[in-house]
Amino acid sequence: MTTDTDATRDRHTCTACGEAYPTERLLVLHRGARHPDDLDAAEVEAYREAYYEEEDELKSFRIRALGVLVLLYFGFLMLFIVFAS
């Protein structure tokens, strides 16, 4: 099922399973994760690159998530010290 906005966007379709993705990068990641045996050498290289690029983004996400967890932890610690008796 597609919406109106989808019709105007590029469809990058997987030749192995027919799934479509809005960007080339997502298709590369999909093929690397789902059809690792169908990749040729260039695709393996593209997947490796996309994977590491995403790894960097994930790293920055992890740092932010860790920050939120620390805030939550100490925030609740303070709340319990003040309000729980």
Q: Is 6 in the site for another protein (CB under 8 A)?
A: yes
User: Running DSSP on this structure, what letter comes out for residue 38?
Assistant: G
Question: For residue 66, with 0-12 CB atoms within 10 Å meaning exposed, 13-18 middle and 19 or more buried, which class applies?
Answer: exposed
Q: Is 70 in the site for another protein (CB under 8 A)?
A: no
How far is it, in rounded angstroms, from Cα 45 to Cα 73?
Answer: 41
How far is it, in rounded angstroms, from Cα 16 to Cα 25?
Answer: 16
Q: Is 76 in the site for another protein (CB under 8 A)?
A: yes
Query: Shortest approach of another protein to residue 22 CB, angstroms?
Result: 5
Which residues of this protein are in contact with another protein, per CB under 8 A? Answer: 1-3, 6, 11, 20-23, 25-27, 29-30, 32-34, 36, 44, 47-48, 51-52, 54-55, 57-58, 61-62, 65, 68-69, 72, 76, 79-80, 83-85
